Amino acid sequence: MNPATAKPPGEYCRGGKNPLLLLKIVSLIAAFIAVIAYSLPGQIRGQAYTVFREFSRVGILLRTYDMNSLESRHFVVRYRPGDAKYAGLVLEAAERFYKPVTRRYQAAPKTKIPVIIYPTGSELNASFGWSASESAMGVYWAGTIRVLSPAAWTADKDSSQVRDTFINSGPMAHELTHLAVDYATKGNCPRWLTEGLAQYEEYRLTGFRFDTLPPEIKDFYPLTSLDRDFDNMTDQSLAYFESLSAVEYIITEYGEGALDQMLASLGRGATLDGALEDALNVDLTKFEHNWHQWLGNMSKAVSRG
């Protein structure tokens, strides 16, 4: 290697044109698998989803081929030159939470995880075709984590404060949990459950959590609605609260072993009802009734002080 042209260890910049033909082929195969996957029986559907996820992961690496890269043992961080000072921070946070999350769910990808840094919220939204009104700091989808640059949302100017804020309040623990649960269940996880688990692990690892128990809940969203239409729920705070409280109910009343059994059943292709019956010995209707009753008792206890 010529010392005059050597890059720092783990860092390099890819130049030239994107491999468009290969990207088109990968995208077409991924789209074909996605179309047929949902018509397959549970366990076979999980296997098909695993293949789809890998093609999607390769596709995003091809799509971001011209971005700068910073790699570690478990991650490939892609970023624009303007975010060079934050790429190492994003990689540090990713590696910090990788082992505790993947060990907890016994699910780790065999290949490096792409993490794409977007300079602005509008660019992050555009990568999914979302409207400009969306305000996500991070998104996991099909093997890839996409994050908003720390420069776009940390008001702190001091580099040590930016680091502390991003690690303890940033999206990496949350999105890595989505990834681990996705791998553990082969994509067969209800939206409310993965959101609840992501919040639970985020709180366990960083101490950060959204608003706690609302003072009064008159109407719950049915879990089937949260699974089907989570992002379109009018009260997003309630949607996230319900997801977390359902997970906390499972862990408090049944234990983490039962939760693991539930995820394992989903990974084998079981329906939600089947996984609940297998792990908790209740169907979805009974589970919701018991959980609401538990939550009501918790609310009364809080009110009494």
If you write DSSP's letter for every residue of 105-150 in order, what string do you get? HT---SSPEEEEEESSHHHHHHTTT--TT---SEEEETTEEEEE-H
Kindly state whether residues 60 and 72 are assigned to the same domain.
no
- Domain end marker among 65, 85, 101: 65
Answer yes or no: is 6 within a domain: no
What was the pLDDT predicted at 122? 87
Kindly state whether residues 60 and 35 are assigned to the same domain.
yes
Kindly state whether residues 206 and 288 are assigned to the same domain.
yes
**How many separate domains does the chain show?**
3
What was the pLDDT predicted at 284? 97
- Domain end marker among 65, 93, 122: 65
Kindly state whether residues 217 and 179 are assigned to the same domain.
no
* Full residue range of the structural domain in which residue 164 is found: 68-183
Kindly state whether residues 42 and 96 are assigned to the same domain.
no
What was the pLDDT predicted at 228? 92
Higher pLDDT, 124 or 304: 124
Interval 37-43 mean pLDDT = 62
Answer yes or no: is 10 within a domain: no
What was the pLDDT predicted at 128? 80
Kindly state whether residues 203 and 284 are assigned to the same domain.
yes
Kindly state whether residues 213 and 280 are assigned to the same domain.
yes
- Domain end marker among 27, 48, 65: 65
| pLDDT tens-digit series, residues 144-185 | 999 999 988 776 667 778 899 999 999 999 999 999 999 999
| Per-residue exposure over 177-208, b if at least 16 CB sit within 10 Å of its own CB, e if not | bbbbbbbbbbbbbbbbbbbbbbbbbbbebbee
- pTM, to two decimals: 0.86
C-alpha distances out from residue 138 to 141, 147, 171, 269, Å? 10, 4, 5, 28
